[in-house]
Amino acid sequence: MATRTRVFFFDFTDPGSYLASHLLDEGGVAGRWEWRGLELRPPPRALVDPTDPDWRSYHALIADSAGKRGLPMSTPRFVPWTRKAHELAEFAREQDCYQAVKRTLFEAHFVDRTDIGRIDLLVEIAGAAGLDRSGARAALDVDRHAATVLRHRELAKKWDVEEVPAVVHGTRRIEGLKSPARLLEWTRRVGIERIAEQEERQ
């Protein structure tokens, strides 16, 4: 199904989403996309096993690419459910602080190896990003934005998006970032979007 909107589906614990998010930031086009959190493993599905060979291979590929770009990336020992992290991002969206909190959540998982599934730690992340801690805790405690996260999953399903990271624009889409060839495709897409932005400014 085609869409005129540029949509980026991602998860905070997905290595490819972390790198793709950086590429969009680096290309100066992050603000031109609609960011939609898509849980890698929505509950009650089992958590990702960080020792799984396929997962380790995927993580190693992304870590190598990240290192070449100067993007810090460690290997988290635990991969939590991310619904609450996405809820916090939606709370931040209300405060016009989405991009800053998004970057902080990615860094918390992939650099600091923080358990971003824990509400108490998410509240600290919110405070560090300049958000009201008590407001963030209240929103997370009552699942204020859980329905929004679930709607994002339904939207992805409607557009036949099956894996993250994914970008959808018109009839074009890219899903997954698990090979050097796909990484090149992502990089080229970011370049295309940057050129389009420059042309619009002229």
What per-residue confidence (pLDDT) applies to 2?
Answer: 58
pLDDT along the chain (202 residues), means of 10: 80 96 86 94 96 96 93 96 98 95 97 98 95 97 98 96 90 86 79 55 50
What per-residue confidence (pLDDT) applies to 202?
Answer: 45
Q: In order of start, what are the domains of the chain with their CATH numbers?
A: 3-201 (3.40.30.10)
Q: Which helix (H) or strand (E) holds 10?
A: strand 3-10
φ/ψ region of 113 (left if φ > 0, alpha if ψ in -120 to 50, else beta) reads left
CB 119 within 8 A of CB 140: yes
Phi, psi of 23 (to 5 degrees): -60, -40
Q: Which pTM was predicted?
A: 0.92
What per-residue confidence (pLDDT) applies to 199?
Answer: 42
Measured between alpha carbons, how far apart are the two ends of the chain, in Å? 32
In this structure, the strands spanning 172-175 and 3-10 are unpaired
What per-residue confidence (pLDDT) applies to 185?
Answer: 83
Helices (H) and strands (E) in the chain, counts: 8, 4
